[in-house]
Amino acid sequence: MYVCLCHGITDTQIREAVNKHGDSSLADVKKRLGVADQCGKCSRMATNIIKAQVDVE
Ligand code: FES
């Protein structure tokens, strides 16, 4: 599912950033993928996905 329409970033890509690269915050994922660096509408959903994934680990 697309989370960030500005950059075409999916929830799978965000989970991978956490699982494979050890990102643990929106700032980390933003730096890696560019998520939420344009309109910002995806920031809440992206944050929720990151938090849920960090909690799983
Ligand atoms: Fe992610 Fe616009 S939808 S920055």
| Cβ contacts of 41-45, under 8 Å, gap ≥ 24 | 41/5, 42/3, 42/4, 42/5, 42/6, 42/9, 45/3
The interface predicted TM-score (ipTM) is 0.98
- Identify which of 14, 26, 29, 41 to mutate to test ligand 1's pocket (most ligand atoms within 8 A of the CB): 41
Structural contact between residues 14 and 33, judged by C-beta atoms closer than 8 angstroms:
yes
Q: Which atom, in ligand 1's list, is nearest to the CA of 35?
A: 1
- 3 CB less than 6 Å from ligand 1? no
Predicted confidence at residue 7, as pLDDT, reads 98
Number of structural domains in the chain: 1
Per residue in 7-55, pLDDT tens?
999 999 999 999 999 999 999 999 999 999 999 999 999 999 999 999 9
CATH of residue 22's domain is: 1.10.10.1100
Is the pLDDT at 57 greater than 90? The verdict is no
- Residue 24 lies in domain: 2-56
